[in-house]
Chain A
Amino acid sequence: MEYRISGRTSLPVLSGISLKIHQGETIALLGRSGSGKTTMLKLINRLRTCSSGDLLVENRPVRDWDVIQLRRRIGYVIQEVGLFPHFAIEQNVCLVPGLEKWPAERIKSRFAEVMQLVGLNPVEYAGKFPRELSGGQRQRIGVARALAADPAILLMDEPFGALDPVTRAELQREFLALSRKVSKTTVLVTHDLREALLLGTRVVLLDAGRIVAEASPGDFLKLDQKVARDFIAASELVTGAAQ
């Protein structure tokens, strides 16, 4: 699969990508800024489209999907959260079930359910607005919103990137517990090696638009390719400096 920015003749953003993601897996797409990991995520729900090659979701090429249907079946969490500032929390979380015209009763019970999953009191938060919440709470709402319509697939773009280290660690732990409970096929984009190893069931390292390494979290640190070693060394340096 390849992805180029249309109208440009320069190097493709992604090329030679071949990756099979199994049901229930959590793929951690690891790479530095500009390596193409976010682009790869956006190809899955067709916020971008491949220039050549095939990308299949549930054994069906994404271009054959009705794009609206496809997106409503895929939960999406982004770093800036992208909560709607003019919607109360309940409206934000229940957006997709609403669009899918679920009965009101079912939406209500689902709201309570997902709020509990992300550890927030549904009654307390239902009527609040995003601006009244802290960064960590907003991020939890972002996760709740992605889970609301119970999608089989979850895409997460640096979901914990904007949080302070303590809140981040807390949310990572909670997400780990949660992903065991709900078992979604998840693609997680991150530049944080620790996060990739903690949350991923498989770690995929991207560099300059290509997959350069792929391993289980246990084996990743033992990889001997240069790019992987460099990435690991740089990450250790950063954590070392922080300690």
Chain B
Amino acid sequence: MNVWQFFASHRAEILAATHEHLSLVLISMAIAVAIAVPLGLALVTHPRWRAAALAVASIFQTIPSLALFGFLIPLPFLGGIGARTAIVALVLYALLPILRNTYVGLTGIDPAIIEAAEAMGMTERQILFRVRLPLATSFILAGIRTATVITIGVATIAAAIGAGGLGTFIFRGVAMVSDAVILAGAIPAALLALLADFLLGLLERRLRVA
């Protein structure tokens, strides 16, 4: 059976898996953004924690993804078999690019602008939220974009711990030694990644302040 025949005969199943995949990614990204962006903001006013926070986030990224899923399974609350564990792992993966870009974006602003803000009598908080954050938006979004593309890829491995998604076809195809089945998972995953990259790229350009 070639790949197109497989697509045609399993259309509903592939669509459902794509939907599952997308929810894994969206939920993970929402949580990762909710953690990493405020953390990045906090690091600007507490630079002592910068090295530690970035190091921890980097360590998560160096753990091979399959191993990270494996480590999480025995943990209470966070672990187990299924989507919840997968989301925890995906969040840990997405943290670094978002955190790093948030921090770099917030602190990489032209010093003349920050000094002008100080000289105008803006408080540290006002500078953070009215000057740094709006000027860093496109940078932060670039981090989110990178993280989203990574997450779409890594989420295929989540099928190994029973979280579903497009990885289901990939693992099944590997077991069956069938390229057609592998591609049924890999092609939609690649298309999702390209689409996310394109759309977030558009948004990033729109929000950029010259």
Contact = CB atoms under 8 A, between A and B. Distances in A.
A145 B121 CA distance: 12
A78 B120 contact: no
Interface in A38-86: 45, 47, 67-72, 74, 76, 78, 80-86
A128 interface: no
A131 B210 CA distance: 7
A80 B112 contact: yes
A86 B116 contact: no
A143 to B, nearest CB: 13
B26 interface: no
B interface, how many residues as a size bin?
A: 10 to 19
A118 B204 CA distance: 36
A71 B121 contact: yes
B45 interface: no
Contact of A95 (B112, B118, B120): B120
A228 interface: no
Interface string A112-138: 000000000000000001010000000
B13 interface: no
A61 B117 CA distance: 23
B117 A84 contact: yes
B141 interface: no
Given A84-B131, A85-B135, A99-B126, A71 B113 contact: no
B119 interface: yes
A96 interface: yes
A224 to B, nearest CB: 37
A86 B135 contact: yes
Contact of B113 (A82, A96, A145, A155): A82
B116 A76 contact: yes
A47 B118 contact: yes
A82 B116 contact: yes
B113 A84 contact: yes
Contacts of B188: none
A85 B131 CA distance: 9
Contacts of A74: 119
Given A95-B120, A96-B121, A99-B122, A47 B115 contact: yes
A76 B115 CA distance: 10
A111 to B, nearest CB: 15
Contacts of A67: 121
A74 B121 CA distance: 9
Contacts of B134: 86
B118 A78 contact: no
A145 B131 CA distance: 16
A71 B116 contact: no
Among B110, B121, B134, chain A packs the most CB atoms within 10 A around the CB of: B121
Contact of B123 (A68, A81, A95): A68
B209 interface: yes
B209 A85 contact: yes
Nearest to B137: A86
Given A78-B112, A82-B113, A86-B209, A68 B121 contact: yes
Residue of B116, B118, B119, B126 with highest tally of chain A CB at under 10 A:
B119
B116 A99 contact: no
Contacts of B121: 67-72, 96, 99
Interface of B: 110, 112-113, 115-123, 126, 131, 134-135, 209-210
22 contacts: A45-B119, A47-B119, A68-B123, A70-B121, A71-B120, A72-B121, A76-B120, A78-B112, A80-B110, A81-B112, A81-B116, A82-B110, A82-B116, A82-B119, A83-B113, A84-B113, A84-B117, A85-B210, A96-B120, A99-B120, A99-B122, A131-B210
Report, nearest first, the 5 A-B pairs whose CB atoms are least far apart: A82-B116, A71-B121, A72-B121, A76-B119, A80-B112
Given A71-B120, A78-B116, 5 more contacts: A82-B110, A86-B131, A86-B134, A95-B120, A99-B126
